Structure 1
Amino acid sequence: MDNKILSSLYAQDNFRRLGKQLIDVLTDHIQNTTQEINKKTIQWNEPENELDFWKDFFENGTDDDFFNQILKRTTHTHNPKYVGHQVGVTAPITVFTGMLSNLLNNGMAVYEMGMAPNAIERIVIEKLCETIGYNSKSGGFLTSGGTLANLTALLSARKAKVEHDIWNEGHNEPLGIMVCEEAHYCVDRAAKIMGLGEKGIIKIPADENFAMDIQQLETYYQESISKGLKIFAIVGSAPSTATGAYDNLEAINKFAQMYNLWFHVDGAHGGAAIFSEKYKYLLKGAEKADSMVIDGHKMMMMPTITTALLFKNKNHSNHTFSQKADYLLNDTEEDEWYNSGRRTFECTKNMMCMHWFILLKMYGQKAFNVYVTRQYDLARDFAKIISKEPNFEIATEPMSNILCFRYLKDNLSLEELNHLNQSIRRQLLEDGEFYLVQTKLNGVHYLRTTLMNPFTTIDHLKLLLEKIKKGIAELLSKKD
């Protein structure tokens, strides 16, 4: 057998050469994007054309050009004119923690395959629990994304609040959870994966600010139990995805206490506000939640994908996937924090804890305080500017770094306005200088900015607004 190809795959000289080349390329990329030497945030290409390019590259492209082509043909989140999705602008140091995890490939499910990362993860979790306001009985783990974390939390809630052993015996009664209609769609997915069905997702209407209407909780709860549903959990959004509105977590907690419901906080995007001296008030009540989710890859400058799932009582973390009845677990088994595979869906996960640890170790919580506060302030400043424009309106005053706004014109119908705002967004996408997204609220189409980039300034946002106004003028002139 010819082993030359294997020798080539693991050749140290080749690794060193490519590694140095990539570090140089990435260093230039950071400089060129943050300083806007690269003028465009996105080089837009239609899907079929992009597919054709990579088919051709697979057959004819040169190996040494691969990294450059990836950088050229992907969205540049480090560009200050990136105001699009809720994706973190990664701190460069996490390139190295990611590289180390990928090379060592310690899966972490059992201690022998994850000595350092299991210990490091424990320290990170304790720091997060302390910051939330949990006591020494708390615990949790890191997992692959908010969707998986929210599902796991709801499985923990079902285990804790439903007497029947559903994990081993299946459902024997209709169950339900309560959540705002503006919550992230992953909560719906989790409920349906758990077999609750559409009727088991009790969606509480949003108020005028697109947060959960607390006044309607009692009515919806009573209607649901009158239909034979057993409600076992309620989810608060911190914040919702579309508008960045924080639910009233204190009020939700009081309601949960009244009816012995599990209180879960989906803080995937905005849970990091616990680090902000100015904005941590938005999470008042989270310290009483049974569980909470925080994404590192959103507002904590980490690469995708890493999420903390935190429990007020760490025993709930240990029992979720127990293969035998709780009363058969002894204390030693319950506290095997170092064997993380016992507590997560993942039998294998990467060493994501290193991102959290190195940022906390090198920069401390102050870095998150400064970053979150800056981005939330920026959204408020942008909202003030838009509100002074005669032909623009915001959907609601921003509570986070998410801001939805649209262009208005008196003589246009809602359908025409929706089309106009969609068209200007498409125009911006094809132009590529800025990258922003869009959303629909109560049938109204809005442009949506999520201010993730720590290099974005109010001057960039003023330029974006001017570009939108100019583009709309062109679109309206064509219409006339």
Structure 2
Amino acid sequence: MKTPVLQKVYDPNRLRQQGHELIDLMADHLRATLSGSAEKVIHYQKPEDERDFWMEFFKDQSRSDFFPQVLKRTTHVHHPRYIGHQVCAPAPQAALCGLVSSLLNNGMAVYEMGMAPSAMERIITDLLAEKIGFDDKARGLLTSGGTLANLTALLSARKAKLEEDVWLNGHGNRLAVMVSEEAHYCIDRAARIMGLGSEGIIKVPVRPDFSMDTSVLNAYYEDARKKGLQVFALVGSAPSTATGVYDDLHTLADFCSEKGMWFHVDAAHGGAAVFSRKYKETVRGIHRADSVVIDGHKMMLMSTITTALLFREGHHSHTTFSQEAEYLLQHSEEEDWFNLAKRTFECTKTMMSLQWFLLWKTYGEELFDENVTALYDLGRVLAGMIEADPALELAVRPHSNIVCFRYTQQGLNAAELDEINRGIRKELLEEGEFYIVQTRIKKVQYLRCTIMNPFTTTSDLEALLALVKEKGRRITA
């Protein structure tokens, strides 16, 4: 028997009314943020103050402005002066797919709990594999973020390269993976989750341009072998997270081929460059990888969180997790690509393929080409401005839309400059006119910009640099 509360909760007319109101609110928000007429990117509050606000809101039964307050008190990624973390300003169509996924709530573990999105996932991953340069033996899957995708890829690598069946029997060997010292932290985390320990994460130094130094690969490999480690995989960054610099994928592929190692490319951020006619050379050699990760929510205009993991030899996508759950997963002699819980960590996952499918179908590859090209172009523009200004110092000439720089001034030592740049970033955050982040590279403090919004203009970048210099001068006065 339905109670009055349940009837109210599930009332379709209530959904219709609230949905129209919410869409109007979000459309107004989109217009204000994209145009830059909204004054701030972020209205920053201290964590304790924010918690207190929401506790009072929760207790106040008269408050009904939940969605307006959420909009006010979160970071506006659609604002042209959001130049911070590596999440995109998602296309509205992608957000609507999220609404449909949330209401339908098909968990996608097995085919009948996600028929349409499972079929779409196969189509999209096949198209992505083809775009990378894989042949028709390739297969892929979508999963919840680059961290999980990279871990899955390394588990697949371990299963493929070890003679023993680790899934059934565990392993007694001391294992290791090789990766750039500038690689995303999730590779280190994945190796530790897999039980490799600190010794099993071989961090290869980088060149002055922050790409992996391929000239020392053999020395690091042989040193690991002398320590009794079995190196089964090498991870290339496309690009690294802190600096946005791509590794030399062709040379890494040659090395892996010579040593019989698995070659994985973490292209979570920059893999979408395969769509850019201008910048696809940044990922040359990616087709030689055994596995590749590409995020939809970084450079492909999708809402968080959705990531493609692609295997050059598709059978590896079916053998990583080999177990039975009688109520859910039964053994099959067929490829069984449509029962996704056999191939991913998740049993339940969102219908994330909807946004890939709809954006690609509606706008074609041109959408991704235009977005990547516009953002990478802006990265070069920003770097040029920094190089031309004696008060600023560029960390490295960018390969992508990630640009690291700092305010500098003669007569100040390294520690003083670090403190000044931390102060600049703190003031920018608290004032909220821009949103940028910070990073340490080779123990030096830098301001870090990732240009994720194609509506960001040269004028916005000029205004940012002027504000950075103004704050730097005031702090040092």
Q: Residue 363 of structure 1 corresponds to which residue in structure 2? A: 363
Q: Residue 227 of structure 2 corresponds to which residue in structure 1? A: 227
Is the CA contact (8 Å cut-off) linking 2:57 and 2:63 kept in structure 1? no
Is the CA contact (8 Å cut-off) linking 1:315 and 1:334 kept in structure 2? no
Deviation, structure 1 residue 114: 1.0
- 1:76-155 matched pairs, under 5 angstroms: 76-155=76-155
- 1:324-335 matched pairs, under 5 angstroms: 333-335=333-335
- 1:204-353 matched pairs, under 5 angstroms: 204-323=204-323, 333-353=333-353
Deviations 1:5-51 (A, max 9, x none): 11111011111111001000000000000111211000010010000
Q: Residue 183 of structure 1 corresponds to which residue in structure 2? A: 183
Distance between the aligned counterparts of 1:62 and 1:156, measured in 2? Answer: 53
Deviation, structure 1 residue 2: 7.2
Deviation, structure 1 residue 331: 11
Structure 1 stretch 61-70 or stretch 312-321: which is displaced more? Answer: 61-70
Deviation, structure 1 residue 474: 1.6
How has the CA–CA distance of structure 1 residues 62 and 126 changed in structure 2, closer, same or farther, with 3 Å as cutoff?
A: farther
Distance between the aligned counterparts of 1:3 and 1:111, measured in 2? Answer: 33
How has the CA–CA distance of structure 1 residues 47 and 331 changed in structure 2, closer, same or farther, with 3 Å as cutoff?
A: closer
Question: Residue type matched to 1:239 in 2?
Answer: P
Deviations 1:96-153 (A, max 9, x none): 1101111111111111111111101100011100100000000010000000000000
Question: Residue type matched to 1:248 in 2?
Answer: D
Deviations 1:314-346 (A, max 9, x none): 10000000138xxxxx99535101111110000
Secondary structure of residue in 1 paired with 2:294: strand
Identity in percent: 54
Deviation, structure 1 residue 273: 0.4
Is the CA contact (8 Å cut-off) linking 2:97 and 2:355 kept in structure 1? yes
Deviation, structure 1 residue 95: 1.6
Deviation, structure 1 residue 80: 0.2
Secondary structure of residue in 1 paired with 2:64: helix
Distance between the aligned counterparts of 1:3 and 1:273, measured in 2? Answer: 53
How has the CA–CA distance of structure 1 residues 338 and 2 changed in structure 2, closer, same or farther, with 3 Å as cutoff?
A: closer
Distance between the aligned counterparts of 1:32 and 1:300, measured in 2? Answer: 22
Question: Residue type matched to 1:428 in 2?
Answer: L
Q: Residue 50 of structure 1 corresponds to which residue in structure 2? A: 50
Question: Residue type matched to 1:142 in 2?
Answer: L
Deviation, structure 1 residue 364: 0.4
Deviation, structure 1 residue 64: 2.9
How has the CA–CA distance of structure 1 residues 220 and 379 changed in structure 2, closer, same or farther, with 3 Å as cutoff?
A: same
Question: Residue type matched to 2:265 in 1?
Answer: V
Secondary structure of residue in 2 paired with 1:309: strand
Q: Residue 200 of structure 2 corresponds to which residue in structure 1? A: 200
Distance between the aligned counterparts of 2:343 and 2:127, measured in 1? Answer: 19
Q: Residue 23 of structure 1 corresponds to which residue in structure 2? A: 23
Distance between the aligned counterparts of 2:375 and 2:200, measured in 1? Answer: 36
Distance between the aligned counterparts of 2:128 and 2:173, measured in 1? Answer: 36
Question: Residue type matched to 1:176 in 2?
Answer: A
2:32 aligned with 1:32? yes
Question: Residue type matched to 2:33 in 1?
Answer: T
Question: Residue type matched to 1:96 in 2?
Answer: L
- 1:418-457 matched pairs, under 5 angstroms: 418-457=418-457
Deviations 1:142-192 (A, max 9, x none): 000000000000000000000011111112110000000100010011101
Is the CA contact (8 Å cut-off) linking 1:295 and 1:307 kept in structure 2? yes
Is the CA contact (8 Å cut-off) linking 1:424 and 1:468 kept in structure 2? yes
Q: Residue 460 of structure 1 corresponds to which residue in structure 2? A: 460
Deviation, structure 1 residue 365: 0.5
Distance between the aligned counterparts of 1:55 and 1:470, measured in 2? Answer: 38
Distance between the aligned counterparts of 2:198 and 2:164, measured in 1? Answer: 21
Distance between the aligned counterparts of 1:205 and 1:337, measured in 2? Answer: 39
Secondary structure of residue in 2 paired with 1:333: coil
Distance between the aligned counterparts of 2:161 and 2:432, measured in 1? Answer: 50
Is the CA contact (8 Å cut-off) linking 1:319 and 1:334 kept in structure 2? no
Q: Residue 327 of structure 1 corresponds to which residue in structure 2? A: none
Distance between the aligned counterparts of 1:409 and 1:62, measured in 2? Answer: 54
Distance between the aligned counterparts of 2:95 and 2:306, measured in 1? Answer: 14
- Runs of 4+ in structure 1 off by over 4 angstroms are none
Q: Residue 397 of structure 1 corresponds to which residue in structure 2? A: 397
Is the CA contact (8 Å cut-off) linking 2:85 and 2:450 kept in structure 1? yes
Gaps of 5+ in 1: 325-329
Deviation, structure 1 residue 349: 0.6
Is the CA contact (8 Å cut-off) linking 2:391 and 2:469 kept in structure 1? no
Question: Residue type matched to 1:318 in 2?
Answer: H
Deviations 1:197-237 (A, max 9, x none): 11000110111111111111000000000111011000000
Question: Residue type matched to 1:129 in 2?
Answer: A
Secondary structure of residue in 2 paired with 1:304: coil
Distance between the aligned counterparts of 1:187 and 1:5, measured in 2? Answer: 47
TM-score (norm 1): 0.97
Deviation, structure 1 residue 468: 1.0
Secondary structure of residue in 2 paired with 1:203: strand
Q: Residue 375 of structure 1 corresponds to which residue in structure 2? A: 375
Distance between the aligned counterparts of 2:357 and 2:96, measured in 1? Answer: 13
Distance between the aligned counterparts of 2:63 and 2:169, measured in 1? Answer: 54
Distance between the aligned counterparts of 2:114 and 2:2, measured in 1? Answer: 34
How has the CA–CA distance of structure 1 residues 60 and 331 changed in structure 2, closer, same or farther, with 3 Å as cutoff?
A: closer
Question: Residue type matched to 1:294 in 2?
Answer: I
Distance between the aligned counterparts of 1:333 and 1:278, measured in 2? Answer: 44
Distance between the aligned counterparts of 1:80 and 1:163, measured in 2? Answer: 52
Distance between the aligned counterparts of 1:14 and 1:449, measured in 2? Answer: 42
Secondary structure of residue in 2 paired with 1:124: helix
Distance between the aligned counterparts of 1:2 and 1:122, measured in 2? Answer: 39
How has the CA–CA distance of structure 1 residues 334 and 257 changed in structure 2, closer, same or farther, with 3 Å as cutoff?
A: farther
Q: Residue 327 of structure 2 corresponds to which residue in structure 1? A: none
Distance between the aligned counterparts of 2:221 and 2:475, measured in 1? Answer: 48
How has the CA–CA distance of structure 1 residues 2 and 316 changed in structure 2, closer, same or farther, with 3 Å as cutoff?
A: closer
Structure 1 stretch 295-304 or stretch 2-11: which is displaced more? Answer: 2-11
